[in-house]
Amino acid sequence: MSNKFYEWWKNHRKVITYGTFIVLFGFYLFPVVKEAKYKNQCIMYSTKGALTKFNKDDIGETLLKETGLTVDELAKIEGYKNCKN
């Protein structure tokens, strides 16, 4: 019995070892990926809110001329600023 297991282990040890490391690395990275997902959602919602606010407030041509940016670009910047934690 132990001889069969040794032969099986000898033939499959690289696959099992690499697979185990990949699974453990995935568990290690899961919180980072989850946090990035939440941050992207925050940025998306914050950008939509800023875009609505900028369009309602009519931010004026002076700000657009000073920065050289469009209203969409300013809303994206505001979204990133709001979600920077």
Strands (E), 13-68: none
Q: What does the alpha-carbon distance between residue 35 and residue 14 come to, in Å, rounded to a whole number? A: 32
Contact 76, 36 (CB under 8 A): no
pLDDT tens digits, 17-72: 999 999 999 999 999 999 999 998 998 888 888 888 777 666 666 677 777 888 78
For tokens 């019995």, name the residue: 1
